[in-house]
A = this chain, B = another copy of it.
Amino acid sequence: MIIPAIDEEARQRARERQDRLTKPAGSLGRLELLSIDLAGMTGRIDPPLEHRVVFTLAADHGVAAEGVSAYPREVTAQMVLNFLAGGAAVNVLARLFGARVVVADLGVDADLPQHPQLRALKVRRGTDSITRGAAMSVEDAQHAIDHGRALVLDEVERGLDVVLTGDMGIGNTTASAAMICALTGLEPRAVVGRGTGVDDAGLSRKLNAVRAALEVNAERIARGPLDALAAVGGLEIAGLVGVIMEAASQRKPVVIDGFISGAAALAAARIAPGTTGYMVASHRSQELGHAAALQELGLRPLFDLDLRLGEGTGALLALPLLDAAVRTLNEMATFDEARVSDRERDAAHNRPHN
């Protein structure tokens, strides 16, 4: 697939306008940089941000049977029902910030009811345990990626300006940690964290599971990022890889949520270089390896609120910052319009100033 180049000319226009606005140059900090990034992605200094969709993809993980999560496996399906009923954090924040929630079953190990809000895209009922072999076949991983891409294309039809990633899957911080280790060569110790909150014994089991997964899948991992995704990833992670790739191919900014989305973003960047240019890192999660994944992507998160929930909640919290970045760039008065003395211009004209 072809990832369009970033529009450097639009970035330059945004940068020049930032410097004419009635504020000291650079004083809006990260908002200024964000407005320039969004211009480069979309080719517009005033990109629309109205249609914002969080893609919350769910799947189960074979490794969950090995005591790596604080919650039982059945919670994946229960939380999908909670999403559909509108009672989860992702629903509340989506309502607050005017986003649509697309809930998709990429591989939940349960018979979920038909529901107008649920996209039934089950590739298989959960993965196999990554500690004993591949999580899934490469074909299954590709299938999940294609589903993710199709989800984005469907929303483009309805109007889509900003893509947000989200996830649900008991055990998926273990798979994500394995993915990040597989793609970066980092030690499990530097990446594996407590997820939703395992105790010391659970953390030790997670570490062992990731080590075992990397060992048993070493040959598959060596074949490349798609094989690594199939070997130690997950179905919702693969789906998110597709969401991110398609968003980039459509020149839509894609706001990356937390640890699981970070693992998917890393895989997307390796499978389709160029996707990184369309990513906005929302937050740094509490999960240990998240900062490492973002650093590997060259992304600096916008905020750190000690979040570790997933679902897309962190990505949603970045939306007001996207709005603020675009609105200040386009709605603020320039020094000329407001007749405010601009230091640089005064200096150029040799007018006295302090």
Nearest-neighbor residue (CB-CB) of A88 within chain B: B22
**Is the beta-carbon distance between A78 and B317 smaller than 8 angstroms?**
no
Residues of B within 8 A of A26 (CB): 197, 308
**Is the beta-carbon distance between B29 and A308 smaller than 8 angstroms?**
yes
Most buried by B among A23, A95, A309: A23
Give chain B nearest CB distance to A107 CB in angstroms: 18
**Is the beta-carbon distance between A89 and B354 smaller than 8 angstroms?**
no
Nearest-neighbor residue (CB-CB) of A323 within chain B: B96
A29-B306 Cα distance, complex, nearest whole Å: 5
Give chain B nearest CB distance to A203 CB in angstroms: 14
**Is the beta-carbon distance between B306 and A303 smaller than 8 angstroms?**
no
Partner of A354, one of B21, B67, B93: B67
A59-B308 Cα distance, complex, nearest whole Å: 43
A64-B68 Cα distance, complex, nearest whole Å: 61
Spot the interface stretch: A4-12, A183-191, A337-345.
A337-345
Residues of B within 8 A of A332 (CB): 87-89, 92
Total interface residues on A, CB under 8 Å, equals 69
Give chain B nearest CB distance to A136 CB in angstroms: 21
Give chain B nearest CB distance to A298 CB in angstroms: 18
A132 at interface by CB-CB < 8 Å = no
A65 at interface by CB-CB < 8 Å = yes
Knowing A305-B30, A306-B29, say if A341 contacts B71 (CB, 8 Å). Answer: yes
Q: How many copies does the complex hold?
A: 2
A296 at interface by CB-CB < 8 Å = no
Chain A residues 278-311 with CB under 8 Å of chain B are 286, 302-309
A321 at interface by CB-CB < 8 Å = yes
A352-B320 Cα distance, complex, nearest whole Å: 42
Knowing A89-B332, A353-B71, say if A27 contacts B309 (CB, 8 Å). Answer: yes
Knowing A89-B332, A307-B27, A320-B317, say if A68 contacts B354 (CB, 8 Å). Answer: yes
A interface residues, Cβ below 8 angstroms from B: 21-31, 64-65, 67-75, 78-79, 81-82, 85, 87-89, 92-93, 95-97, 170, 196-197, 286, 302-309, 313, 317, 319-321, 323-324, 327-328, 331-333, 337-341, 343, 346, 352-354
Apart from the given pairs A26-B197, A28-B307, A319-B320, 16 other A-B contacts in the complex at a CB distance below 8 Å: A22-B82, A22-B89, A27-B307, A27-B308, A28-B313, A29-B305, A29-B306, A73-B354, A78-B340, A81-B339, A82-B333, A87-B337, A88-B332, A93-B327, A302-B303, A303-B305
